[in-house]
């Protein structure tokens, strides 16, 4: 890690003696205090090694530092946090795209591609991710995280979910197209019954899972009144066993749940976050507010796949797309804790990871609040409050810069110009 640090400092900073380099002063034209939502002008951030040591007004700054980085023409904010990614997936509009990755690519090959995804993530200004399952690549996310932490590859801080859990037969590779005699790879760990549910949670944690992910429902459809339903994937005994085992192991449960049939079961099982929730109804909204459950809406991915899937014969994503603005606005007004998550990997890594901000703002969310979903709120979800998502004394030096004010034009977050993670500079395309 330190070797990389020295190399980057040598390339990009004013360094005469790289070994003695310990403190860096970053001059910020504007700085967003994500906690208060206030934008401050002419601030200096002092970074010592990988942590923020001080944040002071430029006219009061007197400390001698080993180097100075001049971002006085930039808007500076903490590194962004994406709470729903798949570094081991490379976009799947149709079930064929998904099957191709699981059937034609080995796990080592997929892991090499994941190293590229992780680097893209960092270049996009996302310095932390919660990667919500490997989609058939077993525990390879644990290896990607390890390689990042050991300085082998560049990437964000990772919280990983490993394999995810579903019941037998409910997360197949397009079953009608394949010979039933073949033992096809699975995108999840399949279980049957409460004992196997507990065993899967224990196995995944033993292999390095930070979070447990479940798929709570499937086979979604829209009723004539516009509401959405689906089929629950677990019996109450199974899903409650997953939740109980997860919580007893001091981990948290993230539930893919699109309709009340999955959302209510997941909430009862103790889920901390509902992923997608594209067809949530009023009762779900009310319960999530009451129980302080996070909603990770993953907006753009649905827009991305809707048309292609409709052409392939499935219109449900188009129906979710049409319902999305009203559901988002209702949840926002009700006060649900919305956390930023893109599902990137479910869409192409070459497409912006900051698209969801645009939708959130267009559908009524204040732009500072939208940024908070990917900073302070995300840090709370990850139990990292004060360490990430804020530029404050003692926080990790995860810092990004954009040209122009993203609180006035949220699209600017799609063009992050400068990235530091853990005190190391990874992007300087100014
Ligand atoms: Zn996902």
The CATH homologous superfamily to which domain 2-78+390-428 belongs is: Urease, subunit C, domain 1 (2.30.40.10)
Sorted by where each begins, the domain ranges of the chain are 2-78+390-428, 80-381
**Predicted pLDDT of residue 96:** 86
Instruction: Report the C-alpha gap between 179 and 181 in whole angstroms.
Output: 5
Q: What is the DSSP string of 276-328?
A: E-TT--HHHHHHHHHTT-EEE--HHHHHHHHHHHHHTT--HHHHHHHHHHHHH
**Predicted pLDDT of residue 125:** 98
State the distance from the centre of ligand 1 to the C-alpha of 347, rounded, in angstroms: 10
Exposed/middle/buried for 157, CB within 10 Å: 0-12, 13-18, 19+? buried
State the distance from the centre of ligand 1 to the C-alpha of 134, rounded, in angstroms: 9
- Whole-Å CA distances, 187 to 260, 293, 335: 23, 26, 34
Q: Kindly report the pTM of this predicted structure.
A: 0.94
Cβ atoms of residues 348 and 282 within 8 Å:
no
Nearest CA-CA partner of 159 in 139, 147, 141, 140: 141
State the distance from the centre of ligand 1 to the C-alpha of 157, rounded, in angstroms: 18
State the distance from the centre of ligand 1 to the C-alpha of 89, rounded, in angstroms: 9
- 3-state SS class at 160: strand
State the distance from the centre of ligand 1 to the C-alpha of 84, rounded, in angstroms: 6
**Predicted pLDDT of residue 94:** 84
Task: Give phi and psi for 396, each to the nearest 5.
Answer: -65, 145
Please check whether the domain covering 80-381 is classified as CATH 3.20.20.140: yes
State the distance from the centre of ligand 1 to the C-alpha of 301, rounded, in angstroms: 9
What does each of the 430 residues of the chain score in pLDDT, given as a tens digit?
Answer: 444 443 343 333 333 334 445 899 999 999 999 999 999 999 999 999 999 999 999 999 999 999 999 999 999 999 999 999 999 999 988 888 899 999 999 999 999 999 999 999 999 999 999 999 999 999 999 999 999 999 999 999 999 999 999 999 999 887 567 888 988 999 999 999 999 999 999 999 999 999 999 999 999 999 999 999 999 999 999 999 999 999 999 999 999 999 999 999 999 999 999 999 999 999 999 999 999 999 999 999 999 999 988 998 899 999 999 999 999 999 999 999 999 999 999 999 999 999 999 999 999 999 999 999 999 999 999 999 999 999 999 999 999 999 999 999 999 999 999 999 999 999 998 6
State the distance from the centre of ligand 1 to the C-alpha of 364, rounded, in angstroms: 24
State the distance from the centre of ligand 1 to the C-alpha of 19, rounded, in angstroms: 42
State the distance from the centre of ligand 1 to the C-alpha of 215, rounded, in angstroms: 10
Positive or negative torsion for Cα 395, 399, 404, 406: negative
State the distance from the centre of ligand 1 to the C-alpha of 83, rounded, in angstroms: 10
């Amino acid at each position: 890690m330190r070797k990389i640090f020295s190399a980057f400092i040598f390339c990009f900073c004013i360094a005469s003696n790289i070994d003695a380099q310990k403190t860096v002063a970053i001059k910020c034209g504007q700085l967003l205090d994500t906690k208060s939502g206030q934008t401050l002008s002419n601030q200096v951030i002092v970074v010592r090694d990988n942590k923020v040591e001080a944040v002071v007004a430029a006219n009061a700054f007197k400390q001698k530092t080993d180097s100075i980085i001049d971002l006085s023409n930039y808007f500076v904010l903490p590194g962004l946090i994406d709470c729903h990614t798949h570094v081991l997936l490379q976009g799947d509009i149709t079930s064929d795209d998904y099957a191709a990755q699981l059937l034609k690519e080995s796990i080592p090959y997929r892991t090499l591609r994941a190293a590229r995804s992780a680097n893209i993530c960092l270049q996009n200004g996302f310095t932390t991710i919660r990667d919500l399952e490997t989609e058939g690549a077993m525990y390879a996310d644990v290896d990607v995280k390890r390689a990042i932490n050991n300085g082998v590859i560049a990437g964000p801080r990772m919280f990983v979910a490993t394999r995810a859990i579903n019941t037998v037969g409910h997360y197949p590779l397009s079953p009608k197209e394949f010979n039933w005699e073949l033992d096809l790879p699975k995108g999840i760990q399949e279980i049957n019954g409460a004992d196997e549910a507990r065993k899967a949670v224990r196995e995944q944690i033993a292999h390095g899972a930070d979070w447990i992910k479940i798929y709570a429902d499937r086979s979604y459809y829209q009723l004539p009144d516009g509401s959405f339903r689906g089929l629950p994937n677990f019996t109450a005994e199974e899903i409650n066993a997953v939740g109980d085992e997860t919580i007893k192991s001091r981990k948290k449960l993230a539930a893919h749940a699109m309709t009340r049939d999955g959302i209510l079961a997941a909430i009862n099982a103790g889920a901390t976050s509902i992923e997608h929730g594209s067809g949530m109804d009023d009762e779900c909204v009310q319960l999530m507010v009451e129980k302080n459950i996070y909603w990770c809406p993953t907006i753009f991915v649905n827009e991305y796949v809707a048309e292609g899937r409709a052409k392939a014969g499935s219109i449900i994503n188009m129906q979710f797309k049409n319902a999305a603005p009203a559901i988002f606005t209702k949840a926002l007004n009700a006060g649900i804790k919305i956390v930023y998550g893109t599902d990137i990997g479910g869409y192409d890594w070459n497409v912006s990871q900051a698209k969801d901000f645009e939708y959130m703002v267009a559908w009524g969310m204040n732009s500072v609040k939208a940024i908070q979903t990917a900073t302070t709120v995300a840090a709370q979800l990850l139990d990292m409050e004060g360490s990430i998502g804020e530029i404050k004394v003692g926080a990790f030096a995860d810092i990004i810069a954009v040209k122009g004010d993203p609180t006035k034009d949220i699209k600017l977050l799609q063009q992050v110009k400068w990235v530091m993670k853990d005190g190391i500079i990874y992007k300087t395309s100014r």
